[in-house]
Chain A
Amino acid sequence: MKVAYWPGCVSRGFAPELHGAMARVAPLFDIELVELDRAACCGAGVIAEHNQELADTLNARTFALAQQEIAKGADLMMNICSTCQGAQSECQERLDANTPYRDHVNETLSAEGLTYEKGITNKHFLWLLVEEIGLDEVRRRVKRPLKDLRVGPFYGCYIVRPTDRLGIDRSHPRDTYLHQLIDALGGTVVDYAGQYKCCGFPIITMNKEASLKQAGRHVGDAIDAEADCLVTPCPLCHLNLDLQQPAAAAAVGRPLNMPVLHLPQLLGLAMGLEPKELGMNKHVVKPSSVIDWSTSVVAGAPA
């Protein structure tokens, strides 16, 4: 399968291990990544907050660039960031719902010879795994089942709300895909209070205390539920849950020491890749509960 690939900014900035892990994992599933390297940031909701039309135009441009790749044989557009998915779906909802508006936005794009045609398919890697590749196929390719590993799914906000915009319904229970994936990889799903809550990242510069309290509380809940690690589909969640975890621990007044994995990292481990090539050494909280570093074997699983 060939995808027009939008890695987002954070996966190339403060969370480069995500982009790296994705590049390692893709060939194992015969996914060819055609990077949309001319596209701009999706705006993460902040550009839309500033000026809706600006966010819609920037994302229409990204979609138009992806559609050029699709015309050349890519199957669909794929991203690896919940925030990209949510922010882009929001813009797409407006662009697709109203022809005069779409024409107006396309008018701005026309100077560059680009046009967005209504109805692009843009899926987060998580959705692509479940809906395009299929969990049976994933299961078949597991080399090192995550046996005895207790994984807490952290969905966050942008990839699960609002449900209608994100196409979540009975036939597409996208709000359970992390659960299903952890299970397919042989791990144990740990449910905990904060799994669908906000990591607090959007207000880290505006109300640091409230922001860190959110991150700290969810990580604490996962500890209480006896998770070994968390997995998240969003690099921004990762920033608050991992990079900020020492500060979050201070904000909630309890020690936290919870490794947080990016989705392709968890997948890569089960596919037999080495923790180091998945960039897991780049995390602030060392994933030592997940990995036995001396043998690079998933905890608990026989070698």
Chain B
Amino acid sequence: MPEYTLRIRRYSPESGEAAHWDDFEIDLDGHRSVLDGILQAKDRQDGSIGIRCSCRAAICGSCGVRINGKPNLACHMHLDKACEDAPDGVIVVEPMGNMPVLKDLIVDMDAVHWKKMRRVTPWLLPDGDPPEREYIVAPESMIDITQTMACIQCGACVSDCLSMEVDPLFIGPAALAKAYRFVGDPRDGQHEERLRDLAEDPHGIYDCTHCFNCIEACPKGVAPMSQIMRLRRIASADHGIEDRNNGYRHEHAFVKNIEKNGLLHEADLLPDSYGGKFHPRAVPELVTSLPVILRALQRGKVTPAGALLHKHKASKEVKRIFRDVHDREERYELNLYVVGEEEDDNPPSMHADAAGSQLPAERSPNQ
């Protein structure tokens, strides 16, 4: 049997002792999971190791931890793969981030994850009286939300959300992906109310810094960030929700800026993001951004002419592309999670591997 070393972070808040690391030697086959390793250490060496788990097959979402610094399900990561990734061959296992530790590898999901989940009203709010029997929906109209339905509530995305790291009030990736699950559901009757709520909340959809950490973290291919971008798109394009966080204005200012100039003209973007140079909201914001622009001028980064005049103009071809695409009756949104990647002779590569993952093969952590 190959031997592996697990380095587990130990911490019990009530003990009053500082967190520390313990090393455990385990002997298991390389294709067994890190969770199997932790359970063997717990069984044979130290029964007090705190770890939460149930299904051991990447379905229940209870065993989220950080392995070698990256969030994952402990039951979804093979020991040999984890060992290869470990800088000095020692597999480092620690609790997830952004949530308080209860004991060792167990974090307080209630205090953060579930609280945020409740924040987005995660149930259907249909309009009018329920139908006599079941709701009937066209299958195509549900396909798009299957991606968010794949979420197993493990919290891996929450663990490494970079906006949440600086703004603990941020609703966060898992809950916002869940919000899209209902905004994209044709049976729900409160799409606009939901979106308005999430757009107006300063810690809502416009608080996501687009860092891709949640996409990278998710063991189920939910891509929470992509769902947040969809929420923004629907809020702004379909419902015209002009939020007080400047999300709507920023998006529109950016798109108009490119449509007009072809290249981004930053000096205009700033005021336009706040509603234009003469918008009442823009004035205080511009006064606070003035030092930035002055610094840029002073250091010769931009010339006054460069800051004020338009150097470039979009070509008529670029303008035509904007027009053509904007004129379509419906947005054409290709979702590779749904359609899969084309392979030369094979059908789309979505499949379930032994551990129950629905990730395309190339995204499986064990490849």
A residues engaging B (CB < 8 A)? 9-10, 12-17, 38, 40-41, 43-54, 56-58, 61, 86, 93-94, 97-99, 101, 104, 108-109, 111-112, 157-158, 161-164, 197-198, 200-203, 205-211, 213-214, 217, 243-244, 246-247, 281-284
CA distance A14 to B203 in the complex (A): 29
Query: Using a CB–CB distance below 8 Å, which chain B residues touch chain A?
Result: 162-163, 165-167, 170, 202-203, 206-213, 215-216, 229, 232-233, 236-237, 245-247, 250-252, 254-255, 258, 262-267, 270, 273-274, 285, 288, 291-292, 295-296, 299-302, 306, 314-315, 317-318, 320-322, 324-326, 328, 331-334, 336, 339, 341-342, 362-363
Nearest to B218 among chain A residues (CB) is: A162
Q: In angstroms, how far is the closest chain A Cβ from the Cβ of B239? A: 14
Residues of the B chain whose Cβ atoms lie less than 8 Å from the Cβ of A40: 258, 262-263, 314-315, 318
Whether B213 and A161, one on each chain, are in contact in the complex, defined by CB atoms closer than 8 angstroms, is: yes
B245 contacts across to A, CB distance below 8 A: 206-207
Since A49-B233, A197-B162, A203-B206 are in contact, a sample of 7 more A-B pairs with Cβ atoms closer than 8 Å, ordered by chain A residue number, is A40-B315, A41-B264, A50-B254, A52-B332, A56-B334, A98-B336, A246-B295
Chain B, Cβ-Cβ closest to A157: B211
Assembled-state Cα–Cα distance A80/B163 (Å): 26
**How many pairs, one residue from A and one from B, have CB atoms within 8 Å of each other in the complex?**
202
CA distance A52 to B288 in the complex (A): 33
Of all A-B residue pairs in the complex, the 5 with the closest CB atoms, nearest first, are A161-B212, A9-B264, A198-B211, A9-B263, A213-B166
Q: In the complex, which residue of chain B has the Cβ closest to the Cβ of A93?
A: B336
In the complex, A207→B206 CA distance in Å? 8
Query: Is A53 in contact with B331, judged by CB distance below 8 angstroms?
Result: yes
Please determine whether B301 and A54 come into contact, CB atoms closer than 8 angstroms: no
Across the interface, do B258 and A111 meet the contact criterion of CB distance under 8 Å? no
Chain B interface SS verdict (over half): helix
If A9-B263, A162-B216, A205-B274 touch, whether A104 touches B209 (CB-CB below 8 Å) is: no
> Whole-angstrom distance between the alpha carbons of A75 and B241 in the complex?
46
Residues of A within 8 A of B209 (CB): 198, 200-203, 210-211, 214
Q: B301 contacts A162, CB within 8 Å?
A: no
Picked from B203, B302, B342, the residue with its CB within 8 Å of the CB of A13 is: B302
Can you list 25 residue pairs at the A/B interface with Cβ under 8 Å? A40-B258, A41-B262, A46-B250, A48-B229, A50-B233, A50-B236, A50-B237, A50-B251, A50-B254, A54-B322, A98-B341, A98-B342, A101-B334, A157-B212, A162-B212, A200-B209, A202-B210, A206-B206, A207-B167, A207-B202, A208-B288, A209-B167, A210-B209, A282-B299, A284-B295
Which residue of A has the minimal Cβ distance to B210? A202
**Are B258 and A10 touching (Cβ within 8 A)?**
no
- Name A283's closest neighbour in chain B (CB-CB): B299
Q: Choose from A10, A49, A53, A111 the contact partner of B251 (Cβ within 8 Å).
A: A49
Q: Are A53 and B332 in contact (CB under 8 A)?
A: yes
Partner of A10, one of B264, B317, B325, B341: B264
**Contact across chains for A38 and B255 when beta carbons are under 8 A apart:** no
Q: Are B291 and A246 in contact (CB under 8 A)?
A: yes
Residues of A within 8 A of B270 (CB): 205
| Cβ A197 vs Cβ B211 within 8 A | yes
A16 touches B229 (CB 8 A): no
Give chain A residues whose Cβ lies under 8 Å from the Cβ of B325: 51, 53-54, 57, 108
Contact B332 A104 (CB under 8 A): yes
Q: Give Cα A173–Cα B122 distance, bound, in whole angstroms.
A: 39
Quick one: closest A residue to B274, CB to CB?
Answer: A205
Residues of B within 8 A of A57 (CB): 321, 324-325
A12 touches B263 (CB 8 A): yes
Least CB distance, B260 to chain A, in whole angstroms: 11
Known: A49-B232, A214-B209. Is A282-B166 also a contact (CB below 8 A)?
A: no
Give the residues in chain B near A246, CB-CB below 8 Å.
Answer: 291, 295
- Chain A residues whose CB sits within 8 angstroms of the CB of B213 once the complex forms: 157, 161, 198
Bound Cα distance from A101 to B333, whole angstroms: 10
